[in-house]
Amino acid sequence: MYGLKTDWLEPLQASAFTLDDYEGGVARWCPGCGDHAVLTSIQRLCRDEQLPPHKTMMVSGIGCSSRFPHYMKTYGFHGLHGRALPLAEGIRSRRPDLHIFVSTGDGDCCSIGAGHWIHAIRYNMNMTVMLFDNNVYGLTKNQSSPTSCQGQTSNTHPRGAWLKPLNPIQTTLGVINASFVAQTVDWNPVHLLATLKAAHRHQGLSFVRIMQRCPHFTDGIFDFARNEANGIKLMHHADGIPVDDAFKARFPNHVEHDPTNLNEARELADTEDAIPIGLFYRNNNADRYDEFSVEGLATPRAEKLKAVRGVLDGYRI
C-alpha cells in the first residue's frame, strides 16, 4: 500500500483543491488509450466535489486499467489479479470516512475476479466501481477476454473467439441487491463525467461499465458507435444520468427509461444494434453490508482485548 506522505501533525489547508492536487505520476498508457479520458474525468470529479486527497482511495487489480492508482495523487492500493473488490471491501469496513474508487478491467473483473464481482454487488458496500471494457487482455498482449466479441481474433483465438461475449450489465442486473448500474463510453467526456459523478454520489456500490478503446489491439471495435448517428442509444430520465436538451438532441436514438424499472433495464441491456449509455438501474433502498461491518469500530482497545481473551479462554482444558 502506498499514498501521500502526510504529516498528521500539520493542519489541513483550508484552500480549495485544484487539479494539481490529484495529478500523480505521468500516465504510461498508449497514446489514444481510453484510460486517459477516464483518468481526466476522475481528477475533474475529485476537484469538482472537493474530495480531500488524503480521504480518497484508489484500488485496482491487474491490467492496463489497474495502473490507475499510480496516476492519482491520493492513497492507492495496486492489488492482485482479480482481487480489487475484496481489497476495497476490507478498506471500506475499517475506513467508512474514505471515498473509494475501484478500477478493474474486463479480464480482471469478469474472469479471475468474477466470484468477487458477484458478491461485491450483493454486499453493496459504498464505493464506485469502474469496469474498463476494451474486449481484450491488453497488458498481456492480445488474448481473448470474457467480453471479446464472437469472431474477434486474438493470440488465443487466431481464427476468432468461438463463444458469444459475457454481458457485464446483464450479469450485474441479475445479482440480488444491485443498487446502481450504468454504462458510458470513453469518447464522450461530458457523459463520462456526468455518469461518474452520479455514481460517486450514490450511497452504495455503483457499477459503471466504460466502453474503452484499446488503440493497439481493439482500435476499431466501437467505430460503429462512434461514427454512426444511431450507434449510441441514450437512456435519459429525470432520475437518471443528468443531460440537458442540447446534449440529448445529438442522439437521434434515445429512449426515456425509468431506472427503477428492472425488467426494462434488462431489456435495454440486451440491445445489440447500438451501445446503450446511461443509468440502467438504481435502488436507493438496497441493503449495505458496510453499515453492518463498521459495528465495533469505536470499541476501546482494552475492551477488544478483553473480548478476544474471553473467546480464547473458552478453549482452555
Report pLDDT digits (tens) over 274-300.
999 999 999 999 999 999 998 888 889
So what's the pLDDT on residue 246?
Answer: 94
So what's the pLDDT on residue 12?
Answer: 52
Strands (E), the chain: 56-60, 75-78, 99-105, 127-133, 136-137, 143-144, 180-185, 205-211, 232-236, 254-256, 275-282
pLDDT at 1 over 90: no
In a domain, residue 7? The reply is no
pLDDT at 15 over 70: no
So what's the pLDDT on residue 8?
Answer: 42
Cell of 137: 487482455
In a domain, residue 40? The reply is yes
Directed axis angle between helix 35-49 and helix 189-201, to 10°?
Answer: 50
pLDDT at 118 over 90: yes
pLDDT at 7 over 50: no
Q: How far apart are CA 194 and CA 95, in angstroms?
A: 26
Report pLDDT digits (tens) over 191-218.
999 999 999 999 999 999 999 999 989 8
pLDDT above 90: percentage of residues in the chain? 82
Question: Among the listed ranges 91-105, 150-164, 243-257, which one has the minimum average pLDDT value?
Answer: 150-164
Q: Which domain holds residue 147?
A: 19-313
What DSSP string describes 70-83?
GGBSSEEEE--TT-
Residue 50 Cα to chain centre, angstroms: 20
pLDDT at 4 over 60: no
So what's the pLDDT on residue 29?
Answer: 95
Q: What residue has cell string 463498521?
A: 294
* For residues 19-28, average pLDDT: 95
In a domain, residue 11? The reply is no
Burial class (CB in 10 A: 0-12, 13-18, 19+), 22: buried
Burial class (CB in 10 A: 0-12, 13-18, 19+), 271: middle
In a domain, residue 275? The reply is yes
Instruction: Please give the helix or strand (H or E) that residue 183 lies within, else none.
Output: strand 180-185
In a domain, residue 199? The reply is yes
Residue 241's CATH number: 3.40.50.970
Report pLDDT digits (tens) over 124-154.
999 999 999 998 998 888 888 899 888 888 8
In a domain, residue 240? The reply is yes
In a domain, residue 6? The reply is no
Report pLDDT digits (tens) over 27-86.
999 999 999 999 999 999 999 999 999 999 999 999 999 999 999 999 999 999 999 999
Mean residue pLDDT across the chain: 92
In a domain, residue 9? The reply is no
So what's the pLDDT on residue 153?
Answer: 87
Q: How many domains does the chain have?
A: 1
Nearest one of 197, 191, 195 to 232, comparing CA atoms: 191
So what's the pLDDT on residue 304?
Answer: 87
So what's the pLDDT on residue 142?
Answer: 84
Q: Which residues pair with residue 19 across a beta bridge?
A: none
So what's the pLDDT on residue 309?
Answer: 93
